Amino acid sequence: MSLESLQSFVSLLESRGELVRIKERLSAHLEVAEVANRVMKAGGPALLFENVAGASFPLLINHYGSRKRISLALSCEDLEEQAQAIGALVHTRPGSAKDLAALAGKVPELASALPRSVKKARCQDVVLTGDDIDLEKLPVLTTWPLDGGPFFTLPNVITKDPDTGVRNIGMYRMQRIDKRTTAMHWQIHKTGARHCRRAKELGKRLEVAVAFGGHPALTYAATAPLPDGIDEWMFAGFLAKSPVKTVKAKTVDLEVPADADFVLEGYVDPSEEPFDEGPFGDHTGYYTPVDKFPRFHVTAVTHRSDAIFPATLVGPPPMEDAWLGKATERLFLPLLRTMFPEVVDMNLPVEGAFHNLVLVKIKKQYPFHAPRLAHGLWGAGQMMFSKVICVFDDDVDVQNPGEVVWRMLANLDPKRDLSFVDGPIDQLDHGANQALFGSKLCIDATRKWKEEGYTREWPEICTMTPSVQQRIDRLWPSLGLGDGAPPPVELTAEPSWKLQVFDGLTARARSFLEQKGSR
C-alpha cells in the first residue's frame, strides 16, 4: 500500500470501513473527547470531526485505535509483518559468505530509508508569522474537566543536540498558553529535556520545530523507544518503505517533514521562568499534577492548504494509545531478543500503562534465570521504568490474561518468588513516595528447579491424551452438541475489547454516530 500523507491515510481508512465523518458541530472543550472516549472504549472506528467549534480545520482522532489501523499506518496488513522484517534485519550477522550476501542485500533497503531533503513542500503551502500566528484557530482539545487547558497530544517535537547537531524527534504534550506560546512537557529522562539542559549550560536558546500529521509512521516513530543515535525519521522511512522527505523550516535552522499537515516553529529559552503546566488527565488514567516546564515560543506556523489536525485522547484504558504501545511491543521484541535471546514473547498489558507491568516468557536455561532477566530488562533503555516484571516458562501464553493469572498464582510462593529493587521510575508514576525514584518487583512465575531450593516433585499440568482428543473430534458431530467440535480459543495480542467497527459500540455512542455522523 502507498501512503504519502495523512490525507491518503484517511482515504484508505474510509475505503476499509474504518472511519466515520462527524458533521455535528462540537466543542473542542470536552465534547469531542467524550465522543472519542466512548468510541475508543468500544473498539470503534477512527473519527474525523469536520465541524469543531471555533476551528478552521477538521480533527482526526482514533486513527491508530485498533490492530488493523495501526498496521495500516505502518504500511502493512498486520504488525507481525513489520516485526518479521525487523527481526530479519537485526539477526543477519556476517559470519559467512552467505551471511555477507544476505546483509548486502539489505543495504538498498536501509539506504532507501534515509531522509531526503527537498526545496518545496506541502507543509509550507501557507506560512504565518508575527501577528498572523494564532494557535487558537487549531482544534486543540481539552480532554478532561480538570485539565489546565487545551493540550496538543500528538506532536512530533524536533530538536538538535547543541553539541553534536544530532536530531531527535520525541512526543511531548504541549499545553496551549496563548496564541503564540505553549508549555513543553519535557520529562527529565527524555532526550528533548537533555538538549534543553545543555542549551542552558551554553547560555543559548534551543530551536524547536513541532510537526503534526504527515505519513502516519512519523507519529509512531516519535513514540518509539529507539536507542540514542537511531534517527526516528530513518525508522519511519523503513516502516513506510519510502524515505521521509524533509524541508528546511522558515524561521529556525531545522529540517521538518515535507508532507506534515502543520509545523510550529520557534524556540525554548532555558533561562526563562518556567510555566506551571497542568493538571492533565494522562495515560495512567489519573491527573498528573501541576509542575514547572519550559515555554515554547512560536515564531511561525506553516501548514498544508488541505491540512487535517491529528489528536488523541488519553485516560483510563483502553484508549487509542493502547495500539501505539502494542506496536512497540511487537516491533521491538526482535531487538529485545538480540540482548536477551532466551525471551520468547512479551506482553505489555494496556491496563498497566505499558510501564507498570511486563509479562515475559523465556526458555529457562539455569537456576534463578527469571530474576537475572528482570535485572537485565531494568538496565535496557526505557524498560528501566518497568514497575513489575513477571517471568513465565515458554509454555505459557503471556497474551492470555486468564492463563497468566492461573500459572502465576499456581507457581507462586510469595516469600521465595518476589524480589525487590529500588531505582528510577517514570515521572508520571504517582504510586511511589517520591518523584522519579521507587521500588520495583520481579515475580518469578517459572517452574522451580531443585537447584533453586525446591525439594518436592513439580507437578504436571492436566492435559488430555492426543489420541482421545482426535477420537472425540471425529465423534463430535454425532453427539448432538453442535455442528462440530468447539473451535480452539484464539489468543492474540489483541485484547477482547477490540470488536468490529460499530459492533461493540454502546447504544448511546452508536445512536449518536448513526444520527449525526453518517448522514
Alpha helices in 425-465 (DSSP H): none
User: What is the structure's pLDDT at 503?
Assistant: 44
- The answer as to whether 517 is a domain residue is no
State the DSSP H helix or E strand holding residue 321, giving kind and residue range, or none if neither. Answer: helix 321-339
Nearest to 259 by CA among 299, 310, 225: 310
**In terms of domains, do 440 and 292 share one?**
no
Chain centroid to Cα 280, Å, comes to: 18
User: What is the structure's pLDDT at 48?
Assistant: 98
Domain boundary among 405, 437, 452: 452
* DSSP bridge partners of 246: 117, 257
Task: Spell 40-56 as b/e; 16+ CB within 10 A means b.
Answer: bbbbbbbbbbbebeebe
Rounded distance between C-alpha atoms, residue 265 and residue 119, angstroms: 17
Rounded distance between C-alpha atoms, residue 38 and residue 184, angstroms: 29
Place of cell 477512527: 46
- The answer as to whether 498 is a domain residue is no
- The answer as to whether 206 is a domain residue is yes
The DSSP annotation for 243-275 comes to: PPEEEE-SSSS-EEETT-SEEEEEEE-TTSPPE
- Grid coordinates representing 356 are 507498570
What positions carry a catalytic annotation?
Answer: 282
Rounded distance between C-alpha atoms, residue 424 and residue 440, angstroms: 9
**In terms of domains, do 191 and 276 share one?**
yes
**In terms of domains, do 147 and 250 share one?**
yes
User: What is the structure's pLDDT at 1?
Assistant: 57
Amino acid at 10: V
**In terms of domains, do 445 and 354 share one?**
yes
Domain containing residue 252: CATH number: 2.30.110.10
Q: E strands along 354-506, which residues?
A: 357-362, 388-393, 418-424, 437-444
Domain boundary among 432, 452, 472: 452
Domain boundary among 427, 452, 477: 452
User: What is the structure's pLDDT at 401?
Assistant: 92
**In terms of domains, do 139 and 10 share one?**
yes
Total count of domains within the chain: 2
- The answer as to whether 331 is a domain residue is no
**In terms of domains, do 233 and 291 share one?**
yes
Nearest to 113 by CA among 89, 93, 92: 89
- The answer as to whether 315 is a domain residue is no
**In terms of domains, do 172 and 258 share one?**
yes
Amino acid at 399: Q
How many helices and strands, by DSSP H and E, does the chain display?
14, 25
- Report whether 227 contacts 381 (CB < 8 A): yes
Going across the sheet that includes 418-424, the strands are 343-347, 357-362, 388-393, 437-444, 418-424
- Report whether 123 contacts 261 (CB < 8 A): yes
**In terms of domains, do 299 and 344 share one?**
no
User: What is the structure's pLDDT at 108?
Assistant: 56
* DSSP bridge partners of 39: none
Rounded distance between C-alpha atoms, residue 374 and residue 369, angstroms: 9
- The answer as to whether 57 is a domain residue is yes
The boundaries of the domain holding residue 412 are 340-452
**In terms of domains, do 107 and 246 share one?**
yes
- Report whether 157 contacts 138 (CB < 8 A): no
Rounded distance between C-alpha atoms, residue 289 and residue 292, angstroms: 10
- Largest Cα separation within the chain, whole Å, is 83
Rounded distance between C-alpha atoms, residue 359 and residue 347, angstroms: 5
- The answer as to whether 334 is a domain residue is no
What's the pLDDT tens digit per position in 77-133? Answer: 999 999 988 887 766 554 555 554 554 455 556 666 889 999 999 999 999 999 999
- The answer as to whether 505 is a domain residue is no
The DSSP annotation for 283-312 comes to: TTSSEEPPEEE-EEEEEEEEE-TT--EE--
**In terms of domains, do 194 and 274 share one?**
yes
- Report whether 394 contacts 407 (CB < 8 A): no
**In terms of domains, do 306 and 344 share one?**
no
Angle of helix 321-339 relative to helix 79-90, nearest 10 degrees, comes to: 20
User: What is the structure's pLDDT at 436?
Assistant: 82
**In terms of domains, do 128 and 217 share one?**
yes
- Walking along the chain (519 residues) 10 residues at a time, the average pLDDT comes out as 87 97 97 96 96 96 97 94 84 53 53 87 97 97 97 97 94 97 92 95 97 96 84 92 95 97 98 96 92 97 98 94 92 89 93 87 96 92 88 95 94 95 83 86 95 92 91 89 58 40 45 51
Rounded distance between C-alpha atoms, residue 324 and residue 345, angstroms: 18
- Grid coordinates representing 389 are 516484571
What does DSSP assign to residue 149? S
Domain containing residue 386: CATH number: 3.40.1670.10
- Grid coordinates representing 426 are 517514570
Place of cell 540482548: 339
- Residue 95's φ and ψ, nearest 5 degrees, are -95, -10
User: What is the structure's pLDDT at 139?
Assistant: 97
What is the SS3 assignment for 328? helix
Rounded distance between C-alpha atoms, residue 69 and residue 42, angstroms: 15
User: Between the CA of residue 408 and those of 33, 37, 241, 447, what are the distances in Å?
Assistant: 37, 33, 41, 10
Q: Counting beta carbons within 10 angstroms of the beta carbon of residue 269, is it exposed (0 to 12), middle (13 to 18) or buried (19 or more)?
A: middle
Q: Pairing mode, if any, of strands 255-257 and 245-248?
A: antiparallel
What is the SS3 assignment for 383? helix
